[in-house]
Amino acid sequence: MIDIADRLTATYREVRATTETSEVAETAETSESSASGGSAASEPHGDSAAGCGLVLRRRFPCPPETVWSAVTEADRLGRWLAPVTGELRAGGTFHVADHADGTVLECVPPHLFAVTWGGDALVVTVRLAADEAGDTVLELVHTGVPRDGAVRHGPAWDVAIASLERFLTGDAGEEPAAWRGSTEVQTFAQHSVSAWVKATEVSGVATAEDLTDAVRDCLRRLAPDLTRPSTA
């Protein structure tokens, strides 16, 4: 089961306008160490001039090598994210079922994995670092999204990270798609949408009014059973 309150507070979220790629890197480097475990980020890849970038950071109670294999090996990705085909090496292309096609920009085990995600200007960078206890701090930076993009993409990454945690702790009984469709996960997604709306407002990138369509579309995708209009 997901402890929704715990999962929401365990993840650090930030949204930044990205007139140049270095802004998101600066965000990651200066964000709260209590939430990040002290990990530092270098400049993300790609041209993020499209609008904004979003940053998530989580700690996992296992070494970086364990998390690295979970996020870069196709058979393991299929057990918590979705079926993956292609080559997950630098220069390789891949397809993640029901998610995106992409190209691997960088692959430096066990610390840096950067890919395009559904378009050349959309880049997802994952960094892994060990903290003082030997646990792993995972940082995910998604750049090149529009100004409502944190609400459109952030909740899906929250759900994915919750699924990754489930896999790493040996609690992955259901298939990922079935798990995501549960009432519990849909409820978590609803709360995640609210968290990303707040993060976007705090950033000054967009107002809640600007995010109305993004909220509706994201809830339709991630929490369809909880947001479907009543037919009574």
Contact 152, 214 (CB under 8 A): yes
Tens digits of residue pLDDT in 139-155: 999 999 999 999 999 99
> How many CB atoms neighbour CB 54 within 10 A?
29
- Of 76, 56, 80, 55, the closest CA to residue 65 belongs to 76
**CA–CA gap between residue 76 and residue 118 (Å, rounded):** 21
Tens digits of residue pLDDT in 200-225: 999 999 999 999 999 999 999 999 99
pLDDT value for 5: 80
Q: State yes or no: pLDDT of 78 exceeds 90.
A: yes
- The mean pLDDT value for 60-89 works out to 97
pTM: 0.84
pLDDT value for 223: 97
Tens digits of residue pLDDT in 161-180: 999 999 999 876 778 999 99
Q: In this structure, which CATH number among 3.40.630.40, 3.90.25.10, 3.40.190.10, 3.30.530.20 belongs to the domain 4-224? A: 3.30.530.20
Tens digits of residue pLDDT in 27-51: 334 333 433 444 333 444 443 344 7
- The mean pLDDT value for 66-85 works out to 97
Angle at 107 between CA 105 and CA 74, to 5 degrees: 100
Percent of the chain with pLDDT over 90: 75
As a whole number of Å, the end-to-end CA separation of the chain is 31
Contact 176, 98 (CB under 8 A): no
Contact 116, 105 (CB under 8 A): yes
- The mean pLDDT value for 114-118 works out to 98
Q: Which residues fall within 8 angstroms of residue 67, CB to CB, at 6 or more apart? A: 60, 110, 128, 136, 138, 164, 168
Domain boundaries, the chain: 4-224
